Chain A
Amino acid sequence: MLGTRMNWQRWVMVLPALVFFVVFALVPMCVAVYYSGLSWDGITDPIWVGMKNWVTVFKDGEAWQSTWLTIELMGLCWITQCPLSLVLGVFMAGKQKHRTVFSIFYFIPLLFSAAAIGVTWSYILNPNFGLVNAILKAIGIGNGNENWLGNPHLALFIVSLIIAWQFVPFNSLLFQGGAKQIPESLYEAARIDGAGPFRIFFSITLPQLKYTIVTASVLILTGTLTYFDLIYVLTGGGPGSATQVLAMDMYKQAFINNDLGMGSVMAIILAVFGLVLSLLILKFTGFNRMDSQKEGM
Chain B
Amino acid sequence: MAESQTMLNTNNYEQRRHKHSWTNIAFTTFGVIWLIISFYPVLYILMSSLREQNGFLTGSPTWLPTIHPTFSNYLTVLQAGFVHFFFNSLIVSVLSVIFTVAFSLFLAYVIVRSRSRMVRIIFNIFLIGLALPIQAAIIPVYVLITKMGLYDSLGGLVLPSIAFGIPLTLLFLVNFVRDIPNELYESMGIEGASDFKILFHLVTPLALPSIISIAIYQFILAWNNFLFPLVLTQSDNVKVLPLAVVQFQGEHTMDIPVTMAAVTLSALPLLIAYIFGGRFIRRGMMAGFGK
CA distance A269 to B34 in the complex (A): 37
Task: Please measure, in the bound complex, the distance between the C-alpha atom of A184 and the C-alpha atom of B45, giving whole angstroms.
Answer: 41
A74 within 8 A of B: no
Taking a contact as CB atoms closer than 8 A, the residue among A4, A20, A88, A113 that contacts B34 in the complex is: A88
Pick the residue among A21, A113, A124, A278 that contacts B242 (CB under 8 A): A113
Query: How many interface residues does B have (CB within 8 Å)?
Result: 120
How distant is B6 from chain A, measured CB to nearest CB, in Å? 11
Given contacts A14-B122, A31-B140, A274-B133, contact A111 B30 (CB under 8 A): no
Q: Provide 5 A-B residue pairs closer than 8 Å at the C-beta atoms, listed in order of the A residue.
A: A31-B137, A102-B32, A229-B226, A267-B137, A270-B133
Q: Quick check: is B115 within 8 A (CB to CB) of the other chain? A: yes
CB of B199 within 8 A of chain A? yes
Residues from 157 to 174 in B contacting A, C-beta threshold 8 Å: 159-160, 162-164, 166-167, 170-171, 174
Residue of A nearest to B169 (CB): A17
Min CB gap A178→B, angstroms: 11
Cβ of A147: which chain B residues have Cβ within 8 Å of it? none
Q: Does A264 contact B (CB under 8 A)?
A: yes
A116→B137 contact, CB < 8 A: no
Binary contact track A262-297/B, C-beta < 8 Å → 1, others 0: 011001101101110010000000001110010011
- Binary interface profile of A, 232-250, with partner B (CB < 8 Å = 1, else 0)? 1100000000000001001
CB distance from B114 to the nearest CB of A (A): 6
Report chain B residues within 8 Å CB of A151.
none
Q: Which of A52-60, A61-69, A152-160, A166-174 contacts B (4 or more CB under 8 A)?
A: A166-174
Known: A108-B42, A197-B20, A228-B227. A113 touches B37 (CB 8 A): no
Distance, CA A296 to CA B182, complexed state (A): 13
Decide if the interface of chain A is mainly helix, strand, loop or mixed: helix
Contact indicator B164/A192 (Cβ below 8 Å) = no
B143 and A110 within 8 A (CB): no
Partner of B224 from A9, A115, A192 at Cβ < 8 Å: A115
Set of chain B residues within 8 Å of A27, measured between Cβ atoms: 140
B33-63 residues with Cβ-Cβ distance < 8 A to A are 34-35, 37-39, 41-42, 44-45, 48, 56-57, 61-63
List A contacts of B193 (CB < 8 A).
2
State the CA gap A13–B109 with chains docked (Å): 8
Q: Does A191 contact B (CB under 8 A)?
A: yes
Q: A217–B64 Cα gap in the complex (Å)? A: 37
| Pairwise interchain contact A120-B271, C-beta atoms closer than 8 A | no
Total residues of chain A contacting the partner, CB 8 A:
102
Point out the residue from A21, A168, A275 that lies within 8 Å of B167, measured CB to CB: A21
**A49 on the interface (CB 8 Å rule)?**
no
A198 to B19 CA separation, bound complex (whole angstroms): 11
Q: B288 near A: Cβ within 8 Å? A: yes
Interface residue stretch chosen among B72-80, B206-214, B278-286: B278-286
Complex CA–CA separation, A253 to B143 (angstroms): 15
- Please encode chain B, from 96 to 136, with 1 for each CB lying within 8 Å of some chain A CB and 0 for all others: 00010011101101100111101110110111011111111
- Assuming A20-B163, A25-B163, A42-B143, what are 16 further A-B pairs, CB within 8 angstroms? A6-B110, A13-B110, A17-B126, A20-B103, A26-B125, A32-B139, A84-B34, A106-B38, A107-B278, A108-B38, A113-B245, A116-B263, A194-B9, A267-B139, A274-B136, A289-B171
State whether B195 touches A2 (Cβ < 8 A): yes
A28 and B28 contact, Cβ closer than 8 Å, known pairs A115-B243, A225-B133: no
Known: A10-B110, A108-B38, A134-B62. A250 touches B31 (CB 8 A): no
Task: Write the residues of chain A forming the contact surface with B, with a CB cutoff of 8 angstroms.
Answer: 1-2, 4-7, 9-10, 13-14, 16-18, 20-21, 23-29, 31-32, 35, 42, 84, 87-88, 91, 98-99, 102, 104-116, 118-124, 128-129, 131, 134-135, 165, 168-170, 173-174, 177, 191-192, 194, 196-198, 215, 219, 222, 225-226, 228-229, 232-233, 247, 250-251, 254-255, 260, 263-264, 267-268, 270-271, 273-275, 278, 288-290, 293, 296-297
Complex contact B23–A197 (CB within 8 A): yes
Q: Which of A21, A165, A274 contacts B166 (CB 8 A)?
A: A21
Closest CB of chain A to B115's CB: distance in Å? 4
Q: Is B88 an interface residue (CB 8 A)?
A: no
Do A120 and B45 have beta carbons less than 8 Å apart?
yes
